[in-house]
Chains A and B, each alone.
Chain A
C-alpha cells in the first residue's frame, strides 16, 4: 500500500516537473516528436537522428540534424536576418519583440499537439500554422507576450474559433488545447 502510494506520488511529481513543451509529439501518442522522427528515419539509414530540410530563409546549412522543435526555433531565428525588401517593395523583417514572442511560444505549445509550421508575412508579422485534413489553424504573435489564434474545421467549414490577446504562458497553452479539442 505504502509502496503503491509512493510510486503514484513519484509519477505525479515527475509529470509536474516536466516543462510545458510540445515534445510529446502527435496527439494521442506516447512518444516524443524526436522519437517519432528517429524511428521513422532509422530505416532510411539515418540512425537515431533526423535530417530536416534546411531553413527556408536559406541561412542555415543544408540538412541539419536536429529534432523538430529545435528546427522550429532555428527557423524562427533565421528570420531575424531578413533585410528590408526581402519580399518585394515595402517588406520588412520581424521586430525583436515578435521574434522573442515566437520563440517563447514554441515552449508553450501544448504537449500532444502536432508542432505547427512557421511563417513570416511581408510586413514582418510572425506566426505558426497547421494545415491538416481535419482543420486549418493559424497563430499570430501580436506583441511580445500576446498572440491570437484562429481555428477552422475542414470537415465543418462553418465551425471556427478565434481568440485574441492570449498571453504566451500556461494560460495560453490551455486555450490552444481547448480550441483544438473543441474544433
Chain B
C-alpha cells in the first residue's frame, strides 16, 4: 500500500474487484481517514462535506410503483461494489440524468429484454451521509472515485460490517434517500 496515498492504492487495486471492494475496504483499519485522499488519478479533489451528490434510481426493480419510494435493494450496492453517485459540483443534475438514461438504454440494447429505466433521483448532502452512525461509529465513507469518462463520480461505501450493524446502517441510508427522492417524469411526456 502506497504510504503517500493509501486510498488511491487501495481503489486502484480493487477497481476490478466488483462486489468485493467494499468488503475489502471494511478490513482496512484506517479506511475512514482515506476520505481525505483522492481515490483516483482522475480526481478533481476530495469530496467535501458541503457538497451535494446525486444518486440515480432505476425502475422497475428498485422503486416500489405503489408507494413511489425506494426498495431497500436500491441501496444494497453500498455494501459490496460501492454506491455510485455524481458530485453536483462537477456535473449538472441534467447532464447526470441524461447520462443515466443513456446508460439504461445501452443496457437494454446489450441485454435485450431487461426493462431498465431511470425513474428517480435522490440529491444527498455529503455531510448528512457522513453523519449516519452505528454504535458511535461512522456508518459510511464517501470517496472521490473519479472515472476517466466521469470525473464527478464518487462512491459511498459501508464501513460497518454486515449483520445488524450493516442492516441498520442501510435502513438509515434508505430513509435518507427516500426523504429527498424526486420521481422523474416519463421520457417523452
CB atoms of B18 and A90 under 8 A apart: yes
Using A85-B110, A138-B72 as known contacts, say yes or no to A123 and B167 having CB atoms under 8 A apart.
no
Partner of B61, one of A57, A90, A162: A57
Within 134-183 of A, Cβ neighbours of B (below 8 Å) are at 136, 138, 148, 150, 152, 160, 162, 164
Using A88-B103, A152-B171 as known contacts, say yes or no to A119 and B72 having CB atoms under 8 A apart.
yes
Q: Give bound CA distance, A59 to B75, whole Å.
A: 24
Within 78-132 of B, Cβ neighbours of A (below 8 Å) are at 80-81, 103, 107, 110-116
CB atoms of B76 and A125 under 8 A apart: yes
CB atoms of B71 and A117 under 8 A apart: yes
Within 46-78 of A, Cβ neighbours of B (below 8 Å) are at 53, 56-59
Cβ-based interface call for A122 (8 A):
yes
Closest to A150 in B: B167
CB atoms of A85 and B76 under 8 A apart: no
**What's the interface size class on A, roughly?**
20 to 34
Cβ-based interface call for B66 (8 A):
yes
B residues near A129, Cβ cutoff 8 Å: 71-72
Partner of A160, one of B59, B77, B81, B164: B164
Q: Give bound CA distance, A164 to B61, whole Å.
A: 25
Cβ-based interface call for B58 (8 A):
yes
Partner of B60, one of A57, A136, A138: A57
Per-position 1/0 for A78-98, Cβ under 8 A of B: 000011111110100000000
Closest to B60 in A: A56
CB atoms of B71 and A82 under 8 A apart: no
A residues near B167, Cβ cutoff 8 Å: 138, 148, 150, 162
Q: Give bound CA distance, A59 to B69, whole Å.
A: 22
Cβ-based interface call for A121 (8 A):
yes
Cβ-based interface call for B49 (8 A):
no
Q: Give bound CA distance, A85 to B111, whole Å.
A: 7
Known: A56-B60, A86-B107, A122-B81. 4 other contacts (CB 8 A): A58-B113, A87-B116, A131-B67, A164-B163
The 5 closest A-B pairs by CB, nearest first: A162-B164, A150-B167, A121-B76, A58-B115, A56-B60
